[in-house]
Amino acid sequence: MANSNLFDLSGKVAVVTGAAGQLGGEYVNTLFRAGAKVAAFDINFNSPKNSLPKTESDSFITVKVDITKKESIQDGLQRVIDVLGTPSILVNNAALDAPPNASEQDTGPFEDYPEKSWQAMLDVNVTGMFYCCQVIGGHMAKHGGGSIINISSIYGILSPDQRIYEYKSAEKPFFKPVAYSVTKSAVLNLTRYLATYWAGKNVRVNTLTLAGVFNNQDQTFLKNYIAKVPLGRMARQDEYNGAIVFLASGASSYMTGANMVLDGGYSCW
């Protein structure tokens, strides 16, 4: 018989990457409240964009991990095993929207998009997620299975509509850059590949595709963006939490290799 609380995560151990970011902190708190023990991974906890549980304990830890370095993830996993236990939930949330020290060229014409930026974006958004799946997903596959949630974006399933950003081009051309879209598209097939690869090991792998979160963007951007959203607004930062619990828990037990799209309807016309 099914668990009476389909969404219960009691006793599970979860790893959330990019946990010091705007949405990562939401996921940490949500999984924690649903009963999971949570390891928050990030490269930098100096100024978290969201609140995290105040004190570390045997059910919550922060771990400094650079997901572009496989050894750093291996060390992080060992800490999780030692303090919390074997993980069975992995939220691959860490990503860059723009490379560190982005220059004017980064938002200039595609033809001049810097190779260095392209590589920096691939390193975190694709290779970093690949390493986390190898190390943490691989461990889950050997130890009873679990659920992996790979975070993508509407810009990974659709091209950015450059008309949203045209108003920024008054003095020099401005384009939403290519690398973010390409890396977020790669997430979809990493998910499908691993869903079939680990199907026999009880590891489910799904993509969660998100649209833009309200973050005090300027009025022209908001007007242009919202015109494309049937629900008529950007997402609140807490509006993806339900999907995280659904995908992490037994409530989604027959779901793998799928792409769950939460976009206020952005992609339906």
Ligand X SMILES: NC(=O)c1ccc[n+]([C@@H]2O[C@H](COP(=O)([O-])OP(=O)(O)OC[C@H]3O[C@@H](n4cnc5c(N)ncnc54)[C@H](O)[C@@H]3O)[C@@H](O)[C@H]2O)c1
Contact call for residue 94 and ligand X (CB under 6 A) = yes
Please report how close the Cβ of residue 129 comes to ligand X at its closest, in angstroms. 9
CA nearest 89: which of 79, 80, 97? 80
Contact call for residue 194 and ligand X (CB under 6 A) = no
Contact call for residue 91 and ligand X (CB under 6 A) = no
CA gap 126, 56 in Å, rounded: 30
Contact call for residue 128 and ligand X (CB under 6 A) = yes
Pick 47 or 219: Cβ nearer ligand X:
47
Q: x/- site string to ligand X, residues 106 to 125, per CB under 6 A?
A: ------------------x-
- Residue 49 DSSP one-character state: S
Please report how close the Cβ of residue 200 comes to ligand X at its closest, in angstroms. 28
Burial classification of residue 23, based on how many CB atoms lie within 10 Å of its CB (0-12 exposed, 13-18 middle, 19 or more buried): buried
Contact call for residue 65 and ligand X (CB under 6 A) = yes
- Residue 164 DSSP one-character state: G
Pick 3 or 44: Cβ nearer ligand X:
44
CA gap 137, 48 in Å, rounded: 26
CA nearest 260: which of 193, 191, 194? 191
Lookup: tokens for 255:
């779901």
Contact call for residue 98 and ligand X (CB under 6 A) = no
CA gap 96, 26 in Å, rounded: 17
Please report how close the Cβ of residue 240 comes to ligand X at its closest, in angstroms. 8
Contact call for residue 95 and ligand X (CB under 6 A) = yes
Pick 11 or 265: Cβ nearer ligand X:
265
Question: 3-state DSSP call for residue 216?
Answer: coil
Stretch that binds ligand X, among 38-46, 54-62, 164-172, 191-199 (CB under 6 A): 38-46
Tokens 């009691």 belong to which residue? 10
Q: Which of residues 16-35 bind ligand X (CB under 6 A)?
A: 17-18, 20-24
Pick 143 or 226: Cβ nearer ligand X:
226
CA nearest 218: which of 168, 264, 159? 168
Please report how close the Cβ of residue 222 comes to ligand X at its closest, in angstroms. 13
Strands 203-210 and 146-153: parallel
Q: x/- site string to ligand X, residues 146 to 165, per CB under 6 A?
A: -----x-x------------
Contact call for residue 207 and ligand X (CB under 6 A) = no
Contact between residue 82 and residue 6 where contact means Cβ atoms under 8 Å apart? no
CA nearest 34: which of 247, 261, 213? 247
User: Which element (helix H / strand E) includes 189?
Assistant: helix 178-197
Contact call for residue 51 and ligand X (CB under 6 A) = no
Contact call for residue 68 and ligand X (CB under 6 A) = yes
Lookup: tokens for 222:
């908001």
Pick 8 or 75: Cβ nearer ligand X:
75
Residues that bind ligand X in the complex, under the rule CB under 6 A: 17-18, 20-24, 42-44, 49, 65-68, 93-96, 124, 128, 151, 153, 210-213
